[in-house]
Structure 1
């Protein structure tokens, strides 16, 4: 079997990017962080003043959505970084505020349709590992290997809290947990491409297993599917 596309979906802070990056590295595939694309859109909108704590100027965002060019480049350490209109915004898009903004703009149909179009173009040649909320259901419904990750909200909040602390973001665990629960509610109830497990996806609850164990499980599943 030649190269395939791999879809990794699941709730926020489930470690989707970790397992997706690991698979891409082991297989020599291209990793694409779809969540970073929504974060970049949110950052663009925040900079323009189109997002506040209570509302989004979706008319302005829709009018200028074609001006948003998102790309990925690998740095000297082999890490993929996100670029917004040619600017490296990898650090800026990883804040709790931008993460919450990404969840909000992702509920807008015109944003999802534009980014899905870009994502599908990236996967035409196969050999792509992409993680997100709707990869196996909308972006790559025909992906040969689909993973759905889940974990308890408390475990996910702790992971996210530790990650943000390590990056110097002053947040509390309580605020992080509240944000995780808010994003879960928004992701699963939005009208446009809600988060759900594809019928042919293989589910993994990684609440209490290590990253190494997760990657080994994923590689075992890949080998079973492709051989």
Structure 2
């Protein structure tokens, strides 16, 4: 069973996907972490996320087992991830990794939950269930600000909102696998939902499918 969950940053798709996988006993892959890891690798090597060669090199040599889940969650890495994710060579390098995980789940699992921005449209267009998780710009900015403010006390909601809007623009306008809702995906708007309610709604959708 393949559950594809797409949507913009800070809409809640990662939390929903992780909880779904746990409750349904499915394997889970945060595909956004792969692009964050590539962006982080470029920055760590002193490269430029806007440079094709630097981004491609980092993607082709990425070691999934070595990804630092804390280091890739900074504001700077998020911006770099959005830039490298727009590059066709990077997406091509990571596509097979994602598909292999989806069709050959680890640990003998009976299926997978993948979250990202092009799972239902490109990575797994044959997914059994597709969700597109979204929320208002203001709600997403507030959520992300709450995540980042401890590490960056000077950060404002306005700063985060500007970053999110720029990332949305890059993700939606890129030529390769742009962020878009699959025709057969079910929309889940989490703007006015608690995380518990959003997870319950997602479970209901999967159950009905």
Length-normalised TM-score, structure 2? 0.93
Cα displacement string for residues 164-217 of structure 1 (whole angstroms, at most 9, x for unaligned residues):
124x23322111010011011111100010000000000011100111111111
> Residue 123 of structure 1: SS of its match in structure 2?
helix
Conserved 8 A contact 1:50-1:58:
no
Aligned counterpart, 2:149: 165
Aligned counterpart, 2:23: 26
Cα 1:35/1:63, change in 2 over 3 Å: closer
Length-normalised TM-score, structure 1? 0.86
Q: Report the count of equivalent residues.
A: 203
> Residue 15 of structure 2: SS of its match in structure 1?
helix
Question: Is 1:156 paired with 2:140?
Answer: yes
Deviates more, 1:183-192 or 1:118-127: 118-127
Question: Is 1:15 paired with 2:9?
Answer: no
Q: Provide the aligned C-alpha RMSD in A.
A: 1.3
Aligned counterpart, 2:197: 213
Q: Which runs of 4+ in 1 moved over 3 A?
A: none
Whole-angstrom distance in 2 between the partners of 1:63 and 1:133: 22
> Residue 215 of structure 1: SS of its match in structure 2?
helix
Q: Which of 52, 76, 79 is the aligned partner of 1:97?
A: 76
Aligned counterpart, 1:40: 37
Cα 1:206/1:64, change in 2 over 3 Å: closer
What is the CA distance between 1:62 and its match in structure 2?
Answer: 2.5
Q: Which of 106, 114, 123 is the aligned partner of 2:93?
A: 114
Which consecutive residues of structure 2, in runs of 5 or more, have no partner in the other structure? 106-110
Question: Is 1:56 paired with 2:50?
Answer: yes
Whole-angstrom distance in 1 between the partners of 2:54 and 2:160: 30
What is the CA distance between 1:64 and its match in structure 2?
Answer: 5.2
